[in-house]
Amino acid sequence: MLASFGLTLGLSLPALAVEAPGRLEDRYPETVAPPRTQQVLFQKRTLAPGEQPDPEALARDPKLLSTWLEEHPEKLDAAKMDPGLLLTISQLLLSGGRVFEAERLLYQGMARWPENLDIARKWTGIIVRLNRTEAARETLERVAPATNDPSLFYLLGTVYLRREPRSENDLRSALAAWEKVIELKPDYRDVDGSTAEQLRNAIEKLRKDLPAEPAPVPVAPVPAAPVSAVAPAPASK
């Protein structure tokens, strides 16, 4: 519900959810402005002072929601939401091009509900797209093994491949993360459209590109210390 925004809306949260496009690039759009020739301008919806927009229109129009939140920034607070509403609002913000506000809201949600996988997936997906690889890595290395969620291991592998400078150890870590995805869910399909078959192909390429790990050096067994002959005790007189 949007009641926490001071509005009344008779729709359930699933009805408010915006269907995210399949590709990672569409779900988490670049924040760098396109060339001027490719820019598409739109008429900004202006609200009269004190005007309350129609709740259903607000819930379904990302640009209108974006304008309203710009005029009421105090409403964009995870403490005033439940996880479902937070995820819905963050998706509407993303659809309206308000990437950084969506990221900030989800970051608040991560702090408030650290075990919520949906918020973790959404937040780490955004910061991976923004190339904030270290922040994503720290979070995913903590959350993915604790939850055994294949989508988080998928993102973790992506993070390792995007690190700069990228080391051989990063490649091995990416390989291990993606192998874990297939181990957990052999028919995995990510929300960005990547399939298990594509992931297996990427794993195979990583294996070919990585140098063979050196064989362990055999360690010779340590000979047992000789048993010293013990002189017999002198006979007592």
23-37 confidence digits (pLDDT tens): 444 443 344 444 444
* Average pLDDT for 187-209: 92
Helix intervals (H) in 83-149: 83-95, 99-112, 117-129, 133-147
Confidence of residue 236 (pLDDT cuts 50, 70, 90): low
Close Cβ partners of 161 (under 8 Å, ≥ 6 residues apart):
170, 171, 174
* Average pLDDT for 64-83: 78
Give the residue from 126, 99, 112 showing the smallest Cα distance to 192.
126
The reported pLDDT for the residue numbered 31 is 41
The reported pLDDT for the residue numbered 69 is 72
As a whole number of angstroms, the distance between CA 161 and CA 202 comes to 11
The reported pLDDT for the residue numbered 158 is 92
The structure tokens listed for 154 are 């998928």
Close Cβ partners of 168 (under 8 Å, ≥ 6 residues apart):
210, 211
Query: How many residues in total does the chain contain?
Result: 237
pLDDT tens for 5-25 read 443 333 233 333 333 444 444
Rounded to two decimals, the pTM is 0.61
pLDDT tens for 112-131 read 998 888 998 899 989 988 88
Specify the higher pLDDT residue, 33 or 66.
Answer: 66
pLDDT tens for 145-172 read 988 999 999 999 999 999 888 899 999 9
Close Cβ partners of 180 (under 8 Å, ≥ 6 residues apart):
150, 153
The reported pLDDT for the residue numbered 130 is 87
The reported pLDDT for the residue numbered 81 is 85
